[in-house]
Structure 1
Amino acid sequence: MTGSPLPVVVLISGSGSNLQAFIDGRDEGSLPIDIRAVISNKPEAYGLVRAEQAGIPTRVLPHRDFDSREAYDEALRAMIDEVAPELVILAGFMRILSTGFVDHYQGRLINIHPSLLPAFRGLDTHQRALAAGVREHGCSVHFVTPDLDAGPVIVQGPVAVHDNDDPQSLAERVHGQEHRVYPLAVRWLAEGRVEMRGERAYLDGMPLVTAPRLEPGQDPGTL
């Protein structure tokens, strides 16, 4: 790969397993990114340990220290902008972001959601998928917009739903797909293959009417 690595900031609240996938891809040379900071709203988040072990600067900004969502988001924006990333990655960051924050990073803010959007927006996706009796579930990487889980989808990772699944077993398979599709989407962004124009995602200059799907076991290089 040629060119400078894409400067990114990763926001986390928990274990940071998707963060680890980014770190692994960076270290293996398959993901051309420069992780300039990992920021958490929870000081106990294990993802901070992962970042420190990988030599990545970490910062903690507890949301309980602020009187409003807007005040928190303004402080978070200032902290992010100090390191001048070109992409902000939400990786298990358990906060609903204000419209002002989202608008500030329009086209440069992405998230992964544990469903095949537009199905099952919001919380408890695995339980809801099982209750609905769907035969296919998965995850979606999307640009973040002010409407919750409604931004343009970049790529999806489907999994089959088994007759004996419970929410935990289904979640485990979805997590496995997350660790494959999220680095793929970030790589496309780093390579300039994906962008957001208006309310649509574009891949290689073409609007994505239907998001590409990375099937289990499929080589990401084939997409």
Structure 2
Amino acid sequence: MNSVSPSLISPDIPTQPQVSTPLKLGIMASGSGSNFEAVAQAIQNGQLNAQIQVLIYNNPDAYAAVRADKWNIKSVLINHRDYKYRKDLDKQIVQTLRSHDVEWVIMAGWMRLATQTLIDAFPDKIINIHPSLLPSFKGVGAIEQAIEAGVKITGCTVHLVCLEMDSGKILMQAAVPVLPDDNPDTLHTRIQIQEHRILPAAIGLAAKG
């Protein structure tokens, strides 16, 4: 199994069903923003009929903001450290998303738990990507968890967000073999390739119900 390439064991990505008007996306990221850029690239390539209204990031040094600037997409810093309660952070996030006419919320490497405040504002329209084959290895350190458990296959999952962490309805998954000499960095690199494939496709499918 270790010789099988990710492309062979990952599902084929279906063509996105056509929608009449572009989806209005708000993307939330905490780190490098590579999944944000994958969505932007899919839109530019005509693979996803959408437009990114705004990027919200919570870490001042997040490289995602640099990527947004490169794509001429507005970015807004909402630093979670400025809020004592998570629900107050989410109130500000909801206000920002609504002010930018967002319809669908995409958590692309967003490292904060959602509260009911955010979930109620966008019911069944919040999508997250997680670096494991859920329901295995929920939460932080999913790649390290997989290596420690000694599994031979892990991967990534796109799912709807609910109050319980990493437990919403699964939209799409892709599998990635764990190689004998893998470390968290090498495995993460190969998982990200699959994340960039399935996140735009899952957004399109979710929008069609």
Query: TM-score with structure 2 length normalisation?
Result: 0.88
Equivalent residue, structure 2, for 1:203 = none
In 1: Cα distance, 2:117 partner to 2:44 partner: 34
SS at match of 2:162: coil
1:1-223 map, 5 Å: 1=18, 3-190=20-207, 192=208, 195=209
In 2: Cα distance, 1:54 partner to 1:171 partner: 25
Judged with a 3 Å threshold, the aligned counterparts in structure 2 of structure 1 residues 151 and 2 are, in CA distance, closer, same or farther, namely closer
Shift of 1:2: 5.7
User: What is the letter of the counterpart of residue 145 of structure 1?
Assistant: C
Q: Contact 2:21/2:49 (CA < 8 Å) preserved in 1?
A: yes
96-105 vs 117-126, which deviates more?
96-105
Q: Which structure is higher in RCO with an 8 Å CA cutoff and minimum separation 6?
A: 2
Percentage of identical aligned residues = 36
Equivalent residue, structure 2, for 1:212 = none
Runs of 4+ aligned structure 1 residues displaced above 4 Å come to none
Shift of 1:20: 0.7
Give RMSD over aligned pairs: 1.3
Count of residue correspondences:
192
In 2: Cα distance, 1:96 partner to 1:13 partner: 12
In 2: Cα distance, 1:57 partner to 1:122 partner: 29
Q: Contact 2:116/2:163 (CA < 8 Å) preserved in 1?
A: yes
Judged with a 3 Å threshold, the aligned counterparts in structure 2 of structure 1 residues 34 and 72 are, in CA distance, closer, same or farther, namely same
Runs of at least 5 residues in structure 2 that lack an aligned partner in the other structure: 1-17
Q: Contact 1:10/1:38 (CA < 8 Å) preserved in 2?
A: yes
Runs of at least 5 residues in structure 1 that lack an aligned partner in the other structure: 196-223
Deviations 1:133-186 (A, max 9, x none): 111100000000000000010000101111111121111111111010111101
Deviations 1:176-202 (A, max 9, x none): 110101111012234x1xx3xxxxxxx
Deviations 1:81-133 (A, max 9, x none): 11221100001111112122223222100100110000011111112112211
